[in-house]
Amino acid sequence: MDKDELTTWALAHGWQMIAGMPSLTKPSSPKEAIVRLSLKATVVNVEVKKPAGKWEKIAGRPYREVVADAETGLPLGLSFETIPGFSRLMEENRDRMIFARMK
């Protein structure tokens, strides 16, 4: 997957652009990013915001090593499947986005 494919996937699955990066937010604070994809020229990093406000890189791969899962479309190689609570956080962000469109 390349930068554009990752951005398209993220925006279609509940992520939103915050400070120019696809990001997931806290359910209680939908304007504050807590997980983001840092899309560089040749690599993509998954970063998590620590309680002190500092961003910590938890996974990173060159674009050529990131591939979409054939069944779910989830980008493999970025440790999304191993991050505790990631699926639930992504689902909550996606649901909030869908319900906001219904209003």
Tens digit of each residue's pLDDT, the chain (103 residues): 999 999 999 999 889 999 999 999 988 888 899 999 999 999 999 999 999 999 999 999 999 999 998 888 889 989 887 777 888 898 899 888 888 777 6
* Whether the predicted model's global pTM rises above the 0.75 cut: yes
CA triple 43-33-89, angle to 5 deg: 90
Domain carrying residue 76: 3-102
The set of residues, in sequence order, having a beta carbon less than 8 Å from that of 52 and lying 6+ positions away, is none
Domain count, the chain: 1
Q: What is the pLDDT of residue 84?
A: 76
